Amino acid sequence: MNRQTRIANALAQALHPQHLEVEDESHMHAVPVGAESHFKVVVVSEQFGSHGLVARHRVVNRLLQGEFDHGLHALALHTWTPDEWREKGGAAPASPPCRGGSKTR
């Protein structure tokens, strides 16, 4: 099972999201092909209603600690309640280009 699937499964099981996107953005960074190191995660869950933004990110990071321990380097997190998701028109912003490593030199 690849990292993208493991991330999606872990978040789906714990957060019961109304919407979940897990996108491997490693190709946008200075990493070897197939690194599975950088991901964009969009998760829309009622469970975020009682949490501020930092607390939401901490929840996701804790759920994925095992992945961080084994090569996951970065997450672009978009963590919203269903109402916030609707207010945003049901879309997450695009990730910016990588600003570090050899791809900018």
Task: Indicate yes or no: pTM above 0.85.
Answer: yes
Residue 76 backbone zone (phi > 0: left; psi -120 to 50: alpha; other: beta):
beta
User: Could you tell me the two tokens for 82?
Assistant: 């269903």
HSE value, Cβ hemisphere, 13 Å, CA-based, for 55: 6
Average pLDDT over residues 83-99: 89
Q: Does domain 3-90 have CATH number 1.10.8.60?
A: no
Q: What residues does each domain of the chain span?
A: 3-90
pLDDT digits (tens, 9 = 90+) for 53-80: 999 999 999 999 999 999 888 899 999 9
Spatial neighbors of 45 by CB under 8 A, at least 6 apart, are 15, 16, 17, 18, 79, 81, 82
The per-residue pLDDT for 30 is: 77
The per-residue pLDDT for 64 is: 97
When mean pLDDT is compared across 17-21, 42-46, 72-76, 97-101, the lowest value belongs to: 97-101
Dist CA 67 CA 85 (whole Å): 26
> Residue 96 has what DSSP assignment?
P
